[in-house]
Amino acid sequence: MESLSNFIIFRAVCKNWRLATDLTDAPAQLPWLIWPTATTTMPIDRSQQIRDNGYFVYSLSSNTTQRIPLPVNNVLVGTSAGFMLVFEYLCSFYFLNPLTGTKVTLPFLNPSLSYHIACLGHVTNHNSSFVGSEIYLILVQNLVLPTETMKYEFVRFQPPETIKHISIVLPEPAAFGYYKGRLFWSLAIPRVTWVYDASTGTKTSIEIPHPGEEVNFNFLINDMGDLLGVMMSFIDVVGLGEVSWKYEFEVYRLEHTDDFGCYRWSKLNEIGDRIIFLHDFNYGFCLRASDIRELRGNYIYYKKEYWYRDYQYPNAHFCRYDMEDGTTEEVVMKSPEALWFVPSLC
C-alpha cells in the first residue's frame, strides 16, 4: 500500500489484518504540511488566551487536506520526527504523536514564561522511518533588550518517554545543531562554529572556521550520520504587485580530518539521494529518496513568502530547489505558518 491512510484503514479492519502487518511496514511518505486553523503569533503571546483549537494537514503525496482537532487552548508550535510540540495555555509544553496519541509532557519548562523555538530537529539512526530516533529541542527565553548571551533550554527526547534537559547560557548564534552528543553553535561574527558538550553545556576546545568569508550557515542539519551546513542566499525579485526573493543554496558537510579533534567544512556540489526540508527557526531534516516510491533526490524543499498588494497577510509558496541545475519549482501555496511534518506510527 502506497498511502499511509490506506495502511491505517487496513489495520483497523480486524485483529487478523492488524496482526498481518507491522507498524514498521507503513509506507514512507512525503512530509505533510500542518498549520493552525487560526492565525497565531510566534513566539506565543502568553497574555492572550488561545481562541482556536485545530489544525489542517495537507498531504503532498495525495494532494488532500484534512482538519484535525486539538484540545481547547492547545496550540501547535513545532514538529519533528513524527511528533508535534504543543503548548497548553498556562499549563505545559508536551510532545504529541497525532496518529498514535502518544503524549509526553515537558514539566521543567515554565509555561508562564515566553519561549521562542531556536531549533527543533532529530537524529535518525538508520532510515527515514524514525525508529529509534531522538528529538532535540532548543528554546530561548524572549528578552525585551538584546544581550550578548541568552539562556537556552536544551531538551533531548528519546521516544517513547526518555527525556534529558539542561539550561545553558550561550551567545546568540546564526544556526544551531546537535550531532554525536555535542551542540554546534554557528556564529555569523566571527564566522566560526563553536562546539559544546550536550550533557553539561560546557564549551570544548573545538572551533571550526567557516569555509569562506562569504559563507554563513542558516541551518545545521543532522542527517543520519552527517552534519550538514546549509547556506541560503537570496536576491530581490520585483514583479507586478508583489515583492519576493529568489533563493540559492549551498550545502557543506562536516568532515573529521584527524585524531586530534580537527574538523572542516567540505562543499557538496550535489546531495545525491538526500531530500532536504527546511523549516523556520533554524530547523531542517533529510529524507532518502530511495525510501519513497518514484521519488528523486538532490532537492531542497523550502518556503518563501509573497506580499501581495491587495492582501494584508503574506502567502507562503513551498518550493523545490534542484541542486543539479539551480532551478526552482513552486510546489504548493499554503499558510505562512505551515510546518513540515512527517507522520509516524511508531
pLDDT tens readout for residues 320-337: 999 999 999 988 888 888
pLDDT at 257: 72
Q: Quote the cell numbers at residue 346.
A: 511508531
Range in 19-28, 59-68, 130-139, 196-205 the model is least confident about: 19-28
Q: What mean pLDDT is predicted for residues 233-241?
A: 69
Q: What mean pLDDT is predicted for residues 250-279?
A: 87
**Residue 174 pLDDT level (bands cut at 50, 70, 90):** confident
pLDDT at 267: 95
Q: What mean pLDDT is predicted for residues 181-208?
A: 89
Q: What mean pLDDT is predicted for residues 132-156?
A: 75
Question: What type of residue sits at position 6?
Answer: N
Residues 6+ apart with CB under 8 A from 335: 35, 36, 39, 56, 316
Burial class (CB in 10 A: 0-12, 13-18, 19+), 220: buried
Q: Quote the cell numbers at residue 306.
A: 509573497
pLDDT per position as a tens digit, 100-121: 778 888 887 776 777 778 778 7
Q: What mean pLDDT is predicted for residues 217-236?
A: 87
pLDDT at 262: 82
Q: Is the pLDDT of residue 129 over 70?
A: no
Range in 153-167, 210-224, 261-275 the model is least confident about: 153-167
- In whole angstroms, what is the distance from residue 132 CA to residue 291 CA? 17
Query: What long-range pairs does 23-28 form, CB within 8 A, spacing at least 24?
Result: 23/345, 23/346, 24/129, 24/131, 24/346, 26/129, 26/344, 26/345, 27/1, 27/2, 27/3, 27/293, 28/128, 28/129, 28/287, 28/291, 28/292, 28/293
Phi, psi (rounded to 5 degrees) for 52: -115, 165
Q: Is the pLDDT of residue 130 over 60?
A: no
More confident residue, 230 or 335: 230
Neighbours of 91 (CB within 10 A): 12
**Residue 181 pLDDT level (bands cut at 50, 70, 90):** confident
pTM for this entry: 0.82
Neighbours of 147 (CB within 10 A): 10
pLDDT at 324: 93
Q: Is the pLDDT of residue 193 over 90?
A: yes
**Residue 172 pLDDT level (bands cut at 50, 70, 90):** confident
Q: Is the pLDDT of residue 49 over 60?
A: no
**Residue 43 pLDDT level (bands cut at 50, 70, 90):** very low
Highest mean pLDDT among 10-24, 44-58, 284-298: 284-298
- In whole angstroms, what is the distance from residue 346 CA to residue 35 CA? 22
283, 342 contact by CB (below 8 A): no
Q: Is the pLDDT of residue 254 over 90?
A: yes
